Structure 1
Amino acid sequence: MSSPSTFNVRVMTIDDYEAVIELMKQTPGVSFRDADSRESTLRYLLRNPDLSFIARVGDTLCGCIMSGHDGRRGYLQHLVVLPESRRLGVASSLVEHCLAGLEGLGIRKSHVDVLKTNALGARYWQRQGWTLRTDIDRYSFTQVGDENA
């Protein structure tokens, strides 16, 4: 591995899927669901080209983030950074890449969902100046039989 403070960011491709999913599965506070399947991830990447990124230190994946939009608002998800690569600017760089890509498409407001049990994630986003919404509740609907979607 190269110097721990040296990392490179590039657009995520489906070829990164296995490494990204393994990083997600090993990270407390990050959920992995059927919606994170290879097929769903490919569909997401194709629908939102050049908006998801990975970071590497040498040959080691040290971080990832996915983002997309609905035409009006951006949505960031699955920001994950290896513990030994935290506090080096990896997360901030990944987020900046997403926000710049979204802004280039005219998307100037973005959201991120953080599990209520993910205190570390909540602290990160608050420190970055993101505002916790208390004026809305999010409701989800899942088709019968897809409870892990």
Structure 2
Amino acid sequence: MKIREMTIEDYDQVYHLWKTIHGFGIRSIDDSREGVERFLKRNPTSSVVAEEDGKIVGCILCGHDGRRGCFYHVCVEESYRKHGIGRQMVGASMRALQAEGINKVSLIAFTKNDVGNAFWNRIGWTKREDLNYYDFTLNEENITVFIE
């Protein structure tokens, strides 16, 4: 298993992987090839993929705003789970953030994502109970489709 920086050349395989993850939310604009390319250009070193024999089996989109890092779309193909791949990818992205002087990382996990929430708890992340998360949609055409 190789953990490496994600490039736009990985997009087709990554998008296919996202489409297999039950409960995953994919945005029409942000998760398009153009949206991911824009994200990777802004954050060239911190997004990673897990690759085995040329096949991408895991992915993290990771970026920062100069102050705090954020994980998006963390996933591992179901048949590859429970082998430490997610933990290795998290470590690689966190090391990339640290190299850029970032000291804190956050993420959002859907409350119904039992597998994901169990993973984050198991590897030592803290669920925040002291804040509310708000967002505001600037582009109504950026629709989220959930994978069944």
Please report the TM-score for the alignment, with normalisation by the length of structure 1.
0.91
From 120, 131, 134, the counterpart of 2:115: 120
How many Å separate the matches in 2 of 1:90 and 1:29? 20
Cα offset, 1:79, TM superposition: 1.0
Structure 2 residue corresponding to 1:20, chosen from 4, 14, 18: 14
Distance 1:32 1:145 in 2: 14
Which letter maps to 2:10?
Answer: D
Distance 2:119 2:78 in 1: 13
Helix, strand or coil: the match of 2:25?
coil
Residue correspondence of structure 1 range 35-74 to structure 2 within 5 A: 35-74=30-69
Deviation at 1:29, TM superposition (A): 2.6
Choose from 23, 26, 29 the match for 2:23.
29
Structure 2: gaps spanning 5 or more residues: none
Aligned length: 143
Amino acid paired to 2:68: R
Q: Deviations over 1:54-88 (max 9, x none)?
A: 11111221111110001111101111111121111
| Relative contact order, higher structure (CA 8 A, sep 6+) | 2
Moved segments of 4+, more than 4 Å: none
Q: Report which stretch shifted further, 44-53 or 139-148.
A: 139-148
Identity of matched residues, %: 37
User: Is the 8 Å Cα contact of residues 29 and 121 (structure 1) preserved in structure 2?
Assistant: no
TM-score with structure 2 setting the length: 0.92
